[in-house]
Structure 1
Amino acid sequence: MRVKRYVVNALPEAVTMIRSELGKDAVILNTKEIKVGGFMGMFKKKKMEVIAAVESNQSNAPSPRKPTPQENAAIEQMVQTSQRTATAVMESPAVPPIDATDIKADREQFIIDEIRDLRQYMVKLSKQQTAGIPLSEQISQLKEHLIDQEMDMNWIDQLIELIQNKQTEEQVQFTKEQVWELAALNITEWLRPYVGSSISQEARIVHFVGPTGVGKTTTIAKLAAEQTIKNNRKVGFITSDTYRIAAVDQLRTYANILNIPIEVVFSQMDLTRAFKQLADRELIYMDTAGRNFRSELHVSEVNSLLQSSEPSETILVLSLTGKTKDMAAVADHFSKYGVQKVLFTKLDETSVYGAIFNLIMNYELLPTYLASGQTVPDDIEKFQIGTYIQHLLGSTDR
């Protein structure tokens, strides 16, 4: 961080110098009135000390520019108006006498309010400057594409601003391929901290939760087949999805095909018996009932079945054919109970993939797998950034 001290006659003078030397991303950390000069302690002049700072590693920030005469005039006018108002209030005969402590407190509060107003004004000017730049045809196409992909507008705006700033910095107009490439690079950097998770190797019990119809049972069968066939591990099934008899029958069918024991539980009290029956299993996959998990009550009911004294974890299963708002509501409720990992299904039944990005970034979920189709165990793969971005952005011909 670069920090600099300014001693000026008035705050607007410092604002101009800060914008010119540190750039539009600089912030004012502190201001105070000081006395300088004089002779033998007398005749000192009042000055304003302003401390400002800017992050030194902002590589994407545009080069600092000097405020326009219009911006300086607007800032000067705003400060003068505030000062005239404050002076008028202090000199008004209607104001009752106040002591020196109150005057000092009022002066400090006045300065704080001025700094806040100036900051807000400078941020507004910066946004207006960026907003005033018309989008190129290539960037407009990217924006429309991401809107169609149902990416949240706040992320779209941030992405567009980064690409615009890069284009302004290099003083060129990017081709469509360059715009798409920059979008891919920035999205990759945003997602990178959340990618790389899988189902923990230390967990003996893995719970799968999610709304009805998202494909939990089929997904469990795919993962179980991978563990038994490829990794030669001894797997067991537990299902509490007794609300749908078909779900129990479906998992029982997969269990028979894979030669995996299965236990059915109707309440938390049945879990002890089920775990005892599966004591020889290295890994236990538990299928839970699909409910209306937009209701936090139903989430808490399912959560009561997920308590275990053994190493365990919970995977939230969401279908990409669901509505983005509904998926967000489900993710919000489960995240309150510490569920961090998510598995997305029905990749082959949609062409809209922005919800994945929204859920990862807005709720800090860790993506584990992407599932598509009904083939066991083939139609499932670990989440990879490159594969996902190909789905999200497609090709520049789209």
Structure 2
Amino acid sequence: MELFTPKRLDSYQYIRVEEVRCLLRDLFRSAETPVLLKDHLYTMILNIMSRMVLGRKYTQEQSLSSGAPAAIVPQKEFKEMIEELMLLNGVINVGDFIPWLNFLDLQGYVKRMKNLGKRFDRFLEHVLEEHNERRRREGKAFVPRDMVDVLLELADDHSLEVKLERHCLKAFTLDMLAGGTDTSTITIEWAISEILKRPETFDKATEELDRVIGRGRWVEEEDVHRLPYIEAIVKETMRMHPVAPLLVPRLSREHTTVDGYDIPAGTGVLVNVWAIGRDPAVWDAPEEFRPERFVGSPIDLKGHHFELLPFGAGRRMCPGYSLGLKVVHLSLANLLHGFKWRLPPGMTAEELNMDEMIGVTAPRKVPLQAVVEPKLPAHLYYA
């Protein structure tokens, strides 16, 4: 409630705008050549989250030099660390199901988890130390600039019912970085993939953008509510490709019965939103990408409608859903507004691989390669 207030998210709007413009400029420079979209999206969203959560970019594209600050991590390495985190969170570990085999670590997952934990811990220790040093240096004049600053102030509040220890601060920080970076990247990549499979969707999106925005400026966050078809594309993408197919694990608090099955209190529960989103009893033609189904529909993404729950529902729904939607809507709208999209030469829509990877998230198995063609005045890409 403290980290994701509307006022705080609005105060970071300039960061989101700056980084989206950097993405558009980078794609403009790569026009007419196949680009690996995921890499560009990942860089943009990691920069947004780093600046909002940590106060500055703690990654760099080049390899570490001897004079680089200790908290700086090469961007490629940080990306690999986040991807490893998401993979290990979703793997099936034999030792969890056959406890007497756990000590053998037959698949090597436990060893990988421990190594990854140490790498993240070193990075997050540097981040907290840098922030604490600024607090000490500025004294009473200190003003929180980012989410880590807010967390450190909360940790000093001894009236809190649950005390925030140092390991809690690191866990919160990692949750925000990982949860905000990987998920938004995956959603936008799937949206562009589906649009490439169904070109008429792009034509309808372009018509709406030209009519509402015009070709003399970029889409702003305040414009999104006037772009119902863009919002429908995001909803349809999240229906077909929820980034967390099983949400986060839950626990039944009391005994209940579901479809004739007894579910005792204390049972671990996984909600399969991937299956719900493709249930023919709920959706017409569930395997088809049809954003039109959401135009004029009252169904929203806030957990009020159980047929569409990409962020979950109730008190344990994703706390950062409003931030995620801001980033996805702004990025996708401008990507569709600024460029025509097509597959690399020689590839047809039927040949585009749409397989998913299995894990706590469901990214594309084969990263999307696409060719972009600018369709706005050139000066806008450098504005």
TM-score range, shorter chain: under 0.3
Query: What TM-score does the superposition give when structure 1 sets the normalisation length?
Result: 0.21
Higher helix share: 2
Query: What TM-score does the superposition give when structure 2 sets the normalisation length?
Result: 0.21
